[in-house]
Structure 1
């Protein structure tokens, strides 16, 4: 499997993703890796309907993502991975999916999370996952919009929480 792009955006397929990021990814398939969405038939149907014309969308959990990645049948498929949180990104990397970079684009505020940028809110589990991804050699590319300048999410976290 050829990974053209990977992004964390809990809104999944929306205007920016469908019109800008999907084109930039230049992939034939979007694979949404999220146990939450995988187990929600209504949400799964909605994200599939929101896909850009001509682009296939699959919604899988971490186990299925890892199995599919390692299946030789899909060796030449170009994919755009979408995630709702960094913990599942850690899980796929530990499962042997070679991910060089993850774009961080949107993590909504909810109770128990702290807003660190206009579009990113994190809790202790997210912070731990981002640090682990960094230690695993995954480049953390914080950009909400494609033409934004890249920001260092760990520096922002350290400024907010201390090291």
Structure 2
């Protein structure tokens, strides 16, 4: 089955690590940012889409509903896609709405008063941690924590909340 080549949760969305490290190592030609607030903010959309002039890949920005429609309409066409989520909730909603991806990389989510660090650079709420475990079990998904392709990798079952 055709599916996204890579999926990542990173609170910073596109930055140097995503742009150079991950995009090159997974062989994509488009990053689909899936984040409802960003997709509904014309200024932020302009900033992110203008970044594609700097990199060797396209950048498209979707709400969860829009990326589901894009998948249902043409399975992303000829795009070799990295799905990029700002948070676990958008990844969870997207996968459960039928957009297939069988691995999820968590590379960075900031510490807030409501969450705690479970791995390097990744802070989660208990609800987000439970959603990751649900994705792993219900969709047989490979979920791992890794900031860069060259960094050490930790599997979801190796971390505790």
TM-score by shorter chain over 0.5: yes
Look up the match of 2:104.
Answer: 102
What SS class does the counterpart of residue 66 from structure 1 fall into?
Answer: helix
Shift of 1:104: 0.8
What SS class does the counterpart of residue 119 from structure 2 fall into?
Answer: coil
Name stretches of at least 5 consecutive residues in structure 1 with no aligned partner. none
Identify if the C-alpha distance between structure 1 residues 62 and 73 changes in structure 2 by more than 3 Å, giving closer, same or farther. Answer: closer
Look up the match of 1:40.
Answer: 41
Q: How many residues align?
A: 158
Describe how 1:6-45 pairs up with structure 2 within 5 A.
6-45=7-46
Distance 2:3 2:101 in 1: 10
Which shifted more, 121-130 or 10-19? 121-130
Distance 1:118 1:90 in 2: 21
RMSD of aligned C-alpha atoms? 1.8
**TM-score under structure 1 normalisation?**
0.87
Distance 1:150 1:121 in 2: 16
**TM-score under structure 2 normalisation?**
0.88
Alignment partner of 1:141 out of 135, 139, 144: 144
Alignment partner of 1:69 out of 68, 71, 84: 71
Distance 1:79 1:73 in 2: 10
Distance 1:26 1:48 in 2: 19
Say if 2:88 and 2:128, in contact at 8 Å, map to a contact too: yes
Distance 1:14 1:73 in 2: 26
